[in-house]
Structure 1
Amino acid sequence: MFDKTYRQRLEADLVQWEADGVIAPAAAVSIRNALPPLSPGINIAVVGAIVGGLLISAAFLAFVAAHWTEIARLLRFAILLAGMVVAGGLGAWFAATGRIFLADLCASIGAIIFGAGIALVGQMYHLGDDFAGGMLLWSIGAFAAALLTGSRGALAVGLAAACIWTSMRVYDAPDALHLQFVVVWLIAAALAFAWNSRVAAHLVAVAVLPWWIATSLRFDFDGVQPSFVLANGAALLFGAGLAIAAVPSPRAHRLGSVLAIYGAFSLAVVAFLEVTTVDDLFRLRTGTTATQPLWAILCGVVGVVLALASAGVTKRVGEILAACAIGLVLLAAPIWPASAAGEPWFAYAALLCAMLCLVVSGVLDDVRPRIVAGWLGIAGVIAAITWAVKGSLLRRSAFLAVAGVIAVAFATALNRALPRAGR
């Protein structure tokens, strides 16, 4: 929850509690005085300054590009070097005057100019055509800027360059895992943990997705469906996020909760993809074998174990259901080849149960993103089952009707059990 939104809700609650006589006016004043000051936000002046800075930077780059061939090599390099120095100097001045957003913007611009400098040197001196290596060097420089300045924008630049780097490496060697990106990602995750920044946590969570997607699409293994590999990645991300959030540390809780949110949404997307890409609407593999790589299976198993371990630490029933949701999505993968001769009803049932468990998990733990992810997953799976190409539509309607009756019965039983558990 963002601090400003939380303060607004707390202030409204304090006024209401004071009016209802729940707390004394002195207690309300003490609560307000105990709260730390809010960090300065982005006002209209800051927005205007950011837009102006971006326009000036774009004008500078356009001018240089228009006269690129007329400028001597050393002068080109000096221009880019001066751009980095000016961006760093302005960033230091903005940081000293307390304008952190503008300082962050300057650090980001400096990181971008650094990448342009790498491209310039390679183009001027005809260095090797290892474009991926240049992206790695750019990523390292941006990470260094982020580490020295605490810039979230520089971290975003570094992660974007690292994602391009790993995607190119995966494309060049589809039969091998590009584990070097995992090392870079762990460094970024350590920065997000040290900064205790929700923005950095979101950047880190988003950055892991391109690696999994590129790996699942390019990994050359007969019969492997990309959705199955993605399912294991979503399981690991979701379970690891829950486990990290269970650590008794505000920093760990913030990072883990963000990772768990992206893991929940990834799990919902994967449930939809398993129906649409494996059996019905789209086919991304022509093989009949559904054997998965051992490393992917281990990642999925670790995700389930971490989710169960988190439930054991936090004593939350919702996290047990989250582990069940992960396990059911993973279970649907080996069920599909067993139903190759007919409709994969058990796989459909497993996916629907998984998404229902995800929704109930979010309700029990009061985690709204998990609820939204579960509902989106249910809608996607039902739509994919309904509009699947093969099979009888009448049988599918009967299956959905039975599934609806079971869901209603489950909801009724849960509604009766919850008050007893509360007592």
Structure 2
Amino acid sequence: MFDKTYRQRLETDLAQWEADGVIAPAVAASIRNALPPLPAGINIAVVVAIVGGLLIAAAFLAFVAAHWTEIARLLRFVILLAGMVVAGGLGAWFASAGRTVLADLCASIGAIIFGAGIALVGQMYHLGEDFAGGMLLWSIGAFAGALLTGSRGALAVGLVAASIWTCLRTYDTPDALHLPFVAVWLIAAATAFAWNSRVAAHLVAIAMLPWWIATSLRFEFDGAQPSFLLANGAALLFGAGLAIAASPSPRALRLGSVLSIYGAFALAGVAFLEVTTVDDIVSFRTGTVPAQPLWAILSGIAGAILSLASAGITRRAGEVLAACAIGLVLLAAPIWPASAAGEPWFAYAALLCAMLCLVVSGMLDEVRPRIVAGWLGIAGVIAGITWAVKGSLLGRSAFLAAAGIIAVGFATALNRMLPRAAR
């Protein structure tokens, strides 16, 4: 809450209230004194130091790679070990000096060198060509470094390695879900919760997307529809984020709000993908294979239930509309195959209403990212209906015109009702 943007806005408001006579100067001063100090920012010197550190690390790796065949095996191992020790020692020194950003950078470089060491040692001793296993080992080492040092960069390295690992495992074994990644992700989410770090929450939210994308593409070969599976994943991420944010814990609020933001954008992206990709695939399906597996359907339903539970806890009307947005996007999946003989007008209407609910939800709860996601979703769905779907262009234009007239009529009625409700 007490970040730089909030503090600047609060300072502006305090100055304005003091000038308008709303609060006394002593009250404004007491409010300023009650605020905790802002953490040190990243200045130009720190940025230059970061670039320099990255260049030195790249030079070290390039030098070792260039002379790799000329260096004895034992010396190679010592060089790699020395690189990690130096990076860790510099990180400890920077941490003791209060240079947290540079300390985090050193821990990140150490995690990268560890991954390079795995690859080079595997090549040196001709170990088994299990690239996915190497990624898992790298991820474990990077996670260990993140837990020991609190480095957000090392956490990012670990999540990237884990994402590559799950994508490779999904490709190697397409007949089974790769659930071990879910356990790794939960550990990373618990770490972000314990750190109470917005950066770590962003990393955790982004890391969930590769697993859902790889899984949805895997099930496409079995006849399932990737965008429907992605819709269930977006619903679960959105609803779970809202439910976590509804907890009274400030740590849960920070983590849940970030997860819900990514879930909202994912939901908007899925709405666009459904309009632009589903029709070409569903029309060729025989109907013997479901468009989405049962576990994915249950995940989407769980997301809708969690969002409703969050609305019941917080008593926010915006979260009720968020649950409606989730439900309408999920509803489009079973409607679509039923309209395979013609244009899926009801599915289009459900997606448009879902994105409108997302916009209104963000406005009621004053969550700007949710508003942006809803507007992007509306633009994507309209563009998809207009250009990307086969069928009669005249029919689509009539549908869009009818939808616009209904929206304008609803807005007019709402505008007349609001003043009466205010009175």
TM surpasses 0.5 = yes
- How far the C-alpha of 1:110 sits from its partner, in A, is 0.4
Instruction: Tell me, yes or no, if the aligned pair for 1:226 and 1:284 is still in contact at 8 Å.
Output: no
CA shift in 2, pair 1:363/1:215, >3 Å: same
Q: Is the Cα contact below 8 Å between 1:325 and 1:357 reproduced in 2?
A: yes
- Work out the CA distance in 2 between the residues paired with 1:183 and 1:5: 35
How do 1:374-413 and structure 2 match up within 5 A? 374-413=374-413
Map residues 17-416 of structure 1 onto 2, 5 A cutoff: 17-219=17-219, 222-280=222-280, 283=281, 286-289=284-287, 290-416=290-416
Larger deviation: 55-64 or 318-327? 55-64
- Note the aligned Cα RMSD (angstroms): 1.4
Contact 1:174 1:220 in 2 (8 A): no
Q: Within 1, Cα distance between the matches of 2:395 and 2:284?
A: 26
Answer with 295-304 or 389-398: which moved more: 389-398
Q: How many percent identity over aligned positions?
A: 86
Amino acid at match of 1:150: G
In the aligned structure 2, how far is the partner of 1:410 from the partner of 1:204?
A: 39
- Kindly tell me: are residues 303 and 288 of structure 1, through their superposed partners in 2, closer, same or farther at Cα, counting changes over 3 Å? same
Shift of residue 284 of structure 1?
9.0
Counterpart residue identity of residue 261, structure 2: I
TM-fit CA distance, 1:23: 0.3
* Stretches of structure 2 lacking an aligned partner (at least 5 in a row): none
Specify whether residues 330 and 68 from structure 1 end up closer, same or farther in structure 2 by C-alpha distance, changes over 3 A only.
Answer: same
**Structure 1 CA distance, aligned partners of 2:351 and 2:408?**
17
Separation of aligned partners in 2, 1:42 and 1:409 = 51
Change (3 A) 1:86 1:421: farther
Q: Could you tell which deviates more after superposition, 365-374 or 212-221? A: 212-221
Are the aligned partners of 1:332 and 1:347 in contact in 2 as well (CA < 8 Å)? yes
Note if contact 1:50-1:105 (Cα within 8 Å) is conserved in structure 2: yes
Which amino acid in 1 is paired with 2:328?
Answer: L
Structure 1: tracts of 5 or more residues without a match: none
Q: Is the 8 A contact 1:91 1:104 kept in 2?
A: yes
For residue 383 of structure 1, give the secondary structure of its aligned residue in structure 2. helix
**For residue 81 of structure 2, what is the amino acid of its counterpart?**
L
Give, in angstroms, the shift of residue 391 of structure 1: 1.4
How far apart, CA to CA, are the structure 2 residues paired with 1:64 and 1:221? 43
Offset from partner CA, 1:315-351 (integer Å, 9 cap, x none): 0111001000000000001111111111100000000
Deviations 1:291-331 (A, max 9, x none): 31000000000000000000000001110010000000000
Q: 1:284 to 1:405 in 2, by over 3 A?
A: closer
Secondary structure of the residue that 1:142 maps to in structure 2? helix
2:286, 2:414 → 1: CA distance?
40
Tell me: CA distance 1:213–1:93, structure 2 relative to 1, closer, same or farther (3 Å): same
> 1:66, 1:72 → 2: CA distance?
14
Aligned-partner SS, 1:163? helix
Whether the 8 Å CA contact 1:356–1:374 is kept in 2: the answer is yes
- The Cα shift of 1:221 comes to 5.8
Closer, same or farther: CA 131–365 of 1 in aligned 2, 3 Å: same
- Structure 1 pair 145–340 and aligned structure 2 pair: CA distance change class (3 A): same
Structure 2: distance between partners of 1:149 and 1:41: 20
Take 2:255 and 2:314, find their aligned partners in 1: how far apart are those partners? Answer: 16
CA apart distance, 1:416: 4.0
Partner SS, residue 37 of structure 2: coil
Q: Which 10-residue stretch deviates more, 286-295 or 201-210?
A: 286-295
Cα deviation, 1:264-308, whole Å, max 9, x if unaligned, reads: 00000000000111115xx49942434310000000000000000
* 1:103 alignment partner AA: A
Q: Do 1:239 and 1:323's aligned partners in 2 also have CA atoms closer than 8 Å?
A: yes
Aligned residues: 421
1:124-155 alpha-carbon deviations (Å, 9 max, x no partner) = 11111111111111101100100010000000
Cα offset, 1:45, TM superposition: 0.9
> Which one-letter code corresponds to 2:265 in the other structure?
F
1:178 CA displacement:
0.5
Distance in 2 (CA, whole Å) between partners of 1:422 and 1:160 is: 51
Q: Which amino acid aligns with 2:134?
A: G
